Amino acid sequence: MGRHSLPAAIGITTATVAAVGVTVWVVTSDHTTTNAKTTADRLVQPPDAAASATPVATSTFVAIEDTYLRNDTPTDNFGAASVLIADDDPASEILMKFIVSGIDRKIVSAKLRLRSDDLNGGSDIGGTLRSMTDTSWSERTVTWNVKPPVDGPVIGSIGKVISSTWYTIDVTSAVTENGLYSFALSSSSTDGVHYDSRETGANPPQLVVSVHSGQGSGDTVAPTPPLANGPPAATLVGAGDIAMCSSSGDERTAELLAAVDGVIFTAGDNSQDDGSPEHFRNCFGPSWGMYKDRIKPVPGNHDYVTPGATGYFGYFGDAAGRPGEGYYSYDLGNWHIVALNSNCDEIGGCEQGSNQERWLRDDLASSTKPCTAAYWHHPLFTSSHGHDPETAVRPLFQALYDFNAELVLSGHTHVYERFAPQDPMGALDLQRGIRQFVVGTGGGDFYEDHGVFTVTANSEVRQAGTYGVLQLTLRHQDYDWRFLPVQGQSFTDAGSGVCH
């Protein structure tokens, strides 16, 4: 109930994936039940083999959409609210949606986690949870008047709630495989409960899924076999918004590049100052420039502060593509990689029929590789207040979507953000959608407004204030991602996906 099946290997796990070396935490609770009281969570390290006969591996999926509905304002939409409210007077109901994917073993436990709000979270009743078969609703448009039917069985409930505390409901009966799941939470109390929504950024609703780890469990779900005799896995690593002579951020991220073999991408604003030859020589050169022979760059708006981006094209030479264009492509293992120029006004536009858009379609049509990634500077989708979404690049995203591309990487906003697979208009699309990353974390200064988020639909992870690079491991039919923070910082994000 309440889910749509997905292929077993579509990886949309968030920051706790054991396969890529990220620390796995097992979520437990003191008295979690399927249909009775639920208490606050605590986090413990996973047991080792000696401590448990059947150790588990755990993945945490954050809500991709959440909202609440009120019957006294039946046409109002609350999809952008930072709280989720369940109440009996006025009647208020919480809706949540999750994607579970990348699971290749039998699910042994699934738990929904909610954090009560700091100010108004307390209530004598925390709510009753039911599953829903309708997963088509959108947090941006749903209201009480057009709410989907809550047609599933009662899964569990939460008793008395205090503020600023995590609560768990066991949903193993409803979450049995990869899929799209919807839940509704209601309350019979007039003392309404307030939970944090995904729009808070820090404490979104979570779905914690556990499977047997290790070999010999007998519960393995057969994954898609790899291509025989294909090229070996390849590595693409990099970020945007990089070099400033007044900052040591780029030196710190350059240390990460030294430890990772593979091709280095830059997502624009290689020069965070004026893009002059002097700045490339004196600022970019001593840090990321140490690995210049591995770099496949694209330009950003700061690189064009010097007219024609002559400093950029002069520094990178043939690796940057032809001056006046700045777009090109190359193959990496079993992947086709496209480097594009999102400084549209500088190259005659990015609209449908422009030189770059027509070149892109011809290039994609001629590719023989089954998997495709692209990168440019300005993101089409962003939750950051630092810059508006760059809608001028939508025709480029559309062309990539038409040719079943997997990934788009960008910078411009000095944050890290990951989106679920989407179509060019920003609608969730788990079959053909493109996953976009914003990686403006290469070394440029962090600006206060860039770290303020109004969460865009399908944004799965957001973080400001951590320098680092995105490492992609590109295999025959699938890929892994991992955000690598600089020494002294701890944020990371990891997961996997498959080619269309």
Position 15 scores a pLDDT of 36
Tokens, residue 14 = 């968030």
SS3 content of the chain, % helix, strand, coil (to 5): 15, 30, 50
Asked if pLDDT for residue 79 goes beyond 50, the answer is yes
Q: Which residue is it, tokens 């990686």?
A: 439
Q: Give the mean model confidence (pLDDT) for residues 330-352.
A: 97
Provide the CB-side half-sphere exposure for 373 (13 A, CA): 31
pTM: 0.63
Q: Which residue has the higher pLDDT, 18 or 77?
A: 77
Question: Domain 3-212 falls in which CATH fold?
Answer: Jelly Rolls (2.60.120)
What letter represents residue 169's amino acid? I
- The rounded mean pLDDT for the chain is 85
* Residues 108, 211 contacting (CB under 8 angstroms): yes
Nearest to 471 by CA among 489, 444, 493, 487: 493
Per residue in 278-308, pLDDT (tens digit) is 999 999 999 999 999 999 999 999 999 999 9
Nearest to 379 by CA among 435, 432, 327: 435
- Helix 355-366, helix 394-402: angle, nearest 10: 20
Asked if pLDDT for residue 9 goes beyond 80, the answer is no
The residues, ordered by sequence, that sit 6+ positions from 197 with a Cβ below 8 Å of its Cβ are 63, 66, 67, 81, 82, 83, 84, 204, 205
Q: Give the mean model confidence (pLDDT) for residues 164-192.
A: 94
β-bridge partners, 474: 234, 479
Asked if pLDDT for residue 348 goes beyond 90, the answer is yes
Tokens, residue 459 = 């944004």
Position 13 scores a pLDDT of 35
The pLDDT-based confidence of 41 (bands split at 50, 70, 90) is very low
Say how far apart CA 434 and CA 454 lie, in whole Å.
21
Q: Give the mean model confidence (pLDDT) for residues 17-46.
A: 32
User: What is the tally of helices (H) and strands (E) in the chain?
Assistant: 5, 27
Question: Domain 234-498 falls in which CATH fold?
Answer: Purple Acid Phosphatase; chain A, domain 2 (3.60.21)
Nearest to 86 by CA among 134, 123, 118, 141: 123
Question: SS3 for 361?
Answer: helix
Position 498 scores a pLDDT of 86
Say how far apart CA 408 and CA 314 lie, in whole Å.
26
Q: What does the DSSP assignment read for 133-164?
A: S-----TTT--GGGPPP--SPEEEEE--B-SS
Position 26 scores a pLDDT of 29
Phi and psi for 128 in degrees, rounded to 5?
-115, 130
* Residues 293, 265 contacting (CB under 8 angstroms): no
Asked if pLDDT for residue 318 goes beyond 90, the answer is yes
Per residue in 128-150, pLDDT (tens digit) is 999 999 988 888 889 999 999 99
Asked if pLDDT for residue 43 goes beyond 70, the answer is no
Per residue in 384-435, pLDDT (tens digit) is 988 889 999 999 999 999 999 999 999 999 999 999 999 999 999 988 999 9
Q: Give the mean model confidence (pLDDT) for residues 200-213.
A: 85
Per residue in 106-117, pLDDT (tens digit) is 899 999 999 999
Asked if pLDDT for residue 17 goes beyond 50, the answer is no
What letter represents residue 72's amino acid? D
Asked if pLDDT for residue 441 goes beyond 90, the answer is yes
Characterize the bridge pairing of strands 328-332 and 335-339: antiparallel
Measured CA distances, 12 to 128, 341, 435, 466, 494 (Å): 27, 28, 10, 22, 9
Asked if pLDDT for residue 230 goes beyond 60, the answer is no
Say how far apart CA 329 and CA 332 lie, in whole Å.
10
Percent of the chain scored above 70 by pLDDT? 85
Report DSSP state, residue 422.
Answer: B
Helical H runs in 201-333?
249-258, 277-279, 310-316
Q: Give the mean model confidence (pLDDT) for residues 264-268.
A: 98
Nearest to 196 by CA among 92, 84, 96: 84
Asked if pLDDT for residue 351 goes beyond 90, the answer is yes
Position 222 scores a pLDDT of 43
Asked if pLDDT for residue 45 goes beyond 50, the answer is no
Say how far apart CA 350 and CA 348 lie, in whole Å.
7
Q: Give the mean model confidence (pLDDT) for residues 52-57.
A: 59
Q: Give the mean model confidence (pLDDT) for residues 436-442.
A: 97
The pLDDT-based confidence of 229 (bands split at 50, 70, 90) is very low
Nearest to 260 by CA among 438, 467, 471, 411: 471
Vertex 360 angle, CA 356 and 366, to 5°: 145
* Residues 104, 9 contacting (CB under 8 angstroms): yes
- Give strand ranges (E) for 30-79: 41-44, 56-62, 65-70
Say how far apart CA 39 and CA 210 lie, in whole Å.
19
Percent of the chain scored above 90 by pLDDT? 68
Nearest to 205 by CA among 83, 301, 309: 83
Position 57 scores a pLDDT of 80
Tokens, residue 204 = 């979104």
Asked if pLDDT for residue 347 goes beyond 50, the answer is yes
- 408, containing H or E segment: strand 407-410
Report domain extents, the chain: 3-212, 234-498
Per residue in 119-130, pLDDT (tens digit) is 876 899 999 999
